[in-house]
Chain A
Amino acid sequence: NAGVTQTPKFQVLKTGQSMTLQCAQDMNHNSMYWYRQDPGMGLRLIYYSASEGTTDKGEVPNGYNVSRLNKREFSLRLESAAPSQTSVYFCASSPSRLVRLGEQYFGPGTRLTVT
């Protein structure tokens, strides 16, 4: 099992450009999450999906959109990138639909720089 995979690993964008971060898991997990990690700020939830076909906003959803394409894949889209979106982005998945019932497994991260 590959676990949780993310592409790309690194990306540099210019302000105003758009891009999609891809995430896939092969553990048959129900829930998937997108976090951003900034120095001194910990992990902040952007969006999550408790099951295929559903998505919910997290703490910091502004400037992002998500799509739960199927049970395996959960993508994060930046429509018009801004320097404030420079961060490391982690995708995670969990077997349970309820956060209190399961461990979250993280992908390796995508380091995004917006100039």
Chain B
Amino acid sequence: GENVEQHPSTLSVQEGDSAVIKCTYSDSASNYFPWYKQELGKRPQLIIDIRSNVGEKKDQRIAVTLNKTAKHFSLHITETQPEDSAVYFCAASSYGGSQGNLIFGKGTKLSVKP
């Protein structure tokens, strides 16, 4: 089955710097890779996703890149702000069961210091 590794587990940056979080996956059949943000005590919310037919996707200050050959994908946040502080989870689609599901990484706690 699918396995998703996420690094680093914690990341601290100064406000205005960039942050990069990396994930690797094991199943070459995976073709959907979402990123979720979870603020303390809140529910996870989708911030960006990418499908295997594209290599990069941007939405304002966040971008995701995908390298299918190497089986890794990354989240890039530019011009970080204190409100970006949260736990970020990557996920990859898996095809166990009748319809498949998402396998999540263990999360990266991002702290943005003002």
Contacts and interface: CB of A to CB of B under 8 A. Distances in A.
Given A40-B106, A43-B104, A99 B99 contact: yes
A109 B112 CA distance: 26
Interface residues of A, number: 27
Contacts of A108: 42-43
A98 to B, nearest CB: 6
A103 B37 CA distance: 13
B46 to A, nearest CB: 5
B68 interface: no
Interface residues of B, number: 27
B99 A44 contact: no
Interface in A89-105: 90, 97-101, 103-104
Interface stretch (A13-21, A49-57, A66-74, A76-84): A49-57
A58 interface: yes
Given A43-B89, A44-B104, A103 B97 contact: no
A40 B98 CA distance: 28
B31 interface: yes
A12 B25 CA distance: 36
Nearest to A3: B43
A103 B6 CA distance: 20
Interface of B: 6, 9, 31-32, 34, 42-46, 49, 51, 89, 91, 93-94, 97-107
